[in-house]
Amino acid sequence: MAVVKSINHVAVVVSDMEQSLSFWRDALGIELHELRDVPAEKSQVAFLPLAGAEVELVMPTTDDSGIAKYLAKRGQGMHHLCLEVDDIAGMLTQLKAKNIRLINEEPRTAADGKKYAFIHPESTGGVLVELYQL
């Protein structure tokens, strides 16, 4: 049986990366680990590690990306909660068996090799949930 191991990160959609970093990095003092362009997602992501998890600031780099559409519809704020699991394929099978609506029926693989999938907010009480297997 697949299990959730930990919270991996909380993603926040932002419209202005430097303005957002002035709060998270400069005001709160959370160290910026990396600022990375993610062409596959048409976004820029700031990684701010904190006590075994991360805050990820996500900014669209094009007007036609999913993040840009989200930002236009809902504005800035929390985008998703990411949970690390020990067996993502097994977890997706378990969730499907419980009639949980999935955005990704099969795990996707990121450029860094992490496997991930999203669970639809309709099944989670309104929160977009991402699963990661490192």
- How far is 96 from 110, CA to CA, in rounded Å? 22
* The model's pTM: 0.91
Please tell me what DSSP assigns to residue 58: E
What is the CATH T-level fold of the domain 4-133, as seen in this structure?
2,3-Dihydroxybiphenyl 1,2-Dioxygenase; domain 1 (3.10.180)
pLDDT tens digits in sequence order for the chain, 134 residues long: 999 999 999 999 999 999 999 999 999 999 999 999 999 889 999 999 999 999 999 999 999 999 999 999 999 999 999 999 999 999 999 999 999 999 999 999 987 899 999 999 999 999 999 999 98
Q: Which two tokens stand for residue 95?
A: 């969730």
